[in-house]
Amino acid sequence: MPAENRVMEIKEVFTRYTNDVIATCAFGITVDSMRNPKNEFYVYGREATTFDSISFVKIYIFRSLPWLAQILKLRLIRRKIENFFQDLVKTTIKTRDKNGIVRPDMLQLMMESRGKEGKAELSIEDMISQAFIFFFGGFDSTSTLMCFAAHELAVNQEIHKKLQNEVDQVLEASNGQAPYEMVNNMEYLDAVISEALRMYPVAAALDRVCVKEFELPPTLPGMKPFTIKKGEGIWVPVYGLHHDPQYFEEPE
């Protein structure tokens, strides 16, 4: 193969595939972003999960200065995109309720929880929020993981062959169907994905807000414990932990 053809841009392919899976699992609709990359679900979803420098400033204000965000009436996502996903979920729920349609997806699970004893009543707005969080959390993170995993498989042929053998065995045993249960039991595939996540975490750090006062024990003898108070924010250095030889031998 000529040198200029040895590098392949696969992020776009993985992004479209991820979009279609989320559309089916979370929103209960079918789209084909491979053949129709300009479908509204993909276009709006990609815009909603693409952040520029202004977006990160807004996120900081939303998280640290919510009162200022209210005064400025800040929006992270365009109204048109928000309306699209709201209408999509509302229409899907209305159609299913009217025609008795049942599908194996997250939206159906939320619909079935309505009115159950001991369950909090989910409003349409709650369902829209949960479906969009599912999309928001999985769109870029999943496609990015697949890119890094594909790269590592390309440069580590032995690992590539072992994984290919496991895939071939599952396909042969299932007559080419590869049901969820069998895929879920693929130990080597799980190891490859887990290692890719460790080496290339989607977020270099995680931020969380403490909801209950908690005392951390002293890290070294003679030091005092540290108390995290309710409402305080903390940062978890994910990349640093994943590449710390104290926890992972030969982290690189």
pLDDT of 47 higher than 70: yes
As a whole-number percent, the residues of the chain with pLDDT over 90 amount to 38
Q: Is the Cα dihedral 245, 239, 156, 184 positive or negative?
A: positive
Res 2: pLDDT: 67
Which of 44-48, 159-163, 209-213, 243-247 bottoms out in mean pLDDT, i.e. has the lowest? 44-48
- Hey, how many other C-beta atoms are within 10 angstroms of the C-beta on 17? 16
As a whole-number percent, the residues of the chain with pLDDT over 70 amount to 95
Res 245: pLDDT: 93
Res 64: pLDDT: 78
Q: What integer is the mean pLDDT of 172-201?
A: 94
Give 115's pLDDT tier (boundaries 50, 70, 90): low
Res 116: pLDDT: 64
Res 60: pLDDT: 82
Res 137: pLDDT: 81
Q: What integer is the mean pLDDT of 121-144?
A: 82
Res 1: pLDDT: 61
pLDDT of 119 higher than 70: no
Res 120: pLDDT: 64
